[in-house]
Structure 1
Amino acid sequence: MDAIPSWPAFLLAVVLIAASPGPAMALILRRAALGGFRAAVPTVLGLELGLYAWALLAAAGFAGLVAASEVAFLVLRVVGAAVLCWLGVQALRAAWCERSAGRSGTTALPSSRRGGWAGFGEGVIVQLANPKAAVFVIAFYPQFVPADRPLFATTAVFALVQVALETVLYLLLAAGVARAGTWFRRPRVRAWLEGVSGTVLVGLGLRVAVTSR
């Protein structure tokens, strides 16, 4: 993959994409703030595996079929919206329980500390159930793949570089947020964070529900 002139532009685009807000960043921030760095790592890996899977599916032509099919795109859109809204409702429920416990002077149940595999699966599902991910990879990678290079192999390498770079950036973000974990896990702050996270996730789910190709 040497001598590809589009590498600098590709790397810059990946950094800008990773820095943009969306379901991935919302999940990572919530996990790191409430569970610490170790809780965020599986979610980051799951999200990046989902992204890499979409990239390979795009290179093989499957993602294009999904984006072009009205039924497939609708099903994916409904599933993606349902997953994000479910995660948002869970966070809002946790915020309500935290506030109720604070008003009554009792101790709230700790936020659900799902294991690593659960966080990993959550990341994979959120990424694979996102119809905008399918549209994104179809439009994104062909811009950087030279015409004289094999599409599948070159896309796979580009996607691997993106996954590696995003993983590093997201883990750095998670580490930074986790350093303030004690403050985030104070009852009032945790309730506020759960409420904000839940609202953002539900909003993203509704946006996915009405998204078009």
Structure 2
Amino acid sequence: MRAFLLAYLAILVTPGPNLLVIAGVAALRGLRGAVPICLGIALGAGTLNAALAATLGTAQLADEVAAGGRLLSAAMLLWVAFSIARSRPPDAARAARRAQGAEFSAGFCTALTNPISAAFFAAQFLGPLGAMAAVRPLVPVAVVGMALLVSLGFAMLLAHPACQRAALAWHRPIRLGAALALVLMATSVLASLVA
């Protein structure tokens, strides 16, 4: 589960849909104004994770199907890595305009429909977490906690203009580093098929 949490942390710190919403609201309203978005994102990510855990984690898989699941897992991780590597810096002003009003709902829906998180969670439940039935119920709780801590941390940082400029300047190295970490995870999954 430690590897899952570290990889999820890499996804959380990569500028994407969730961070875009946090940045926009934090820039306009500060940390206090971003708290509802952060709560929504954390609960949305936990809900997405729990739904995928229930859907993908309940079936007992035959060896052939399990091998296919690992291949699919590796392919999804590579897709997530590719998506992160080619993403563009977020447009904070556009995100702020979209997030006005129902901040909690916006955060929840953003996280619930995040394709990168969904592909990552599915890959993990079809791969390494699929064999860890005892740990599976704890994963959504860990996802909510980690997403909330990271979201609030980013909101604190991104409420300051100097940090917003630095995050945009380092966007490319951050996303390429996260993509490389996911490629290494996919390679590990593929290596487990050969062994």
User: Which TM-score bucket, shorter chain as reference?
Assistant: 0.5 to 0.7
Q: Aligned partners of 1:66 and 1:185: how far apart in 2?
A: 52
Output the aligned Cα RMSD.
3.7
Q: Which among 120, 134, 141 is matched to residue 127 of structure 1? A: 120
Larger radius of gyration: 1
Q: Counterpart in 2 of 1:27?
A: 11
Runs of 4+ in structure 1 deviating by more than 4 angstroms, as ranges, are: 35-43, 64-67, 109-112, 184-187
For residue 132 of structure 2, what is the aligned residue in structure 1? 140
1:178 equivalent in alignment to 2:150? no
Query: 1:66–1:181: structure 2 CA closer, same or farther, 3 Å change rule?
Result: farther
Q: Sort the Cα spacing of 1:118 and 1:169 in 2 relative to 1 into closer, same or farther, 3 A.
A: closer
**Distance change (3 Å), C-alpha of 1:184 and 1:203:** farther
Compared with structure 1, are the counterparts of its residues 41 and 195 closer, same or farther at alpha carbon in structure 2 (3 Å cutoff)? farther
CA distance in 2, matches of 1:133, 1:111: 35
Give the C-alpha shift of residue 89 in structure 1: 1.4
**Once the 2 structures are TM-superposed, how far is the Cα of residue 67 of structure 1 from its aligned partner?**
6.2
Aligned pair partner of 1:78 in 75, 78, 81: 75
CA contact (8 A) 2:84 2:175 kept: yes
Cα deviation for residue 203 of structure 1 reads 0.9
**Cα displacement string for residues 159-200 of structure 1 (whole angstroms, at most 9, x for unaligned residues):** 1x5423541343133213311213366564022341233112
**Which amino acid letter does the alignment assign opposite residue 127 of structure 2?**
V
1:47 to 25, 45, 48: 45
Cα distance change on mapping 1:112 and 1:195 into 2, 3 Å: farther
Distance 1:112 1:200 in 2: 26
Deviates more, 1:40-49 or 1:194-203: 40-49
Gaps of 5+ in 1: 1-13, 96-108, 145-154
Cα 1:85–1:43 change in 2 (3 A) is farther
- Alignment: residue pair count: 164
Question: Residue 42 of structure 2 contacts residue 145 of structure 2 at CA under 8 Å; is this kept in 1?
Answer: no
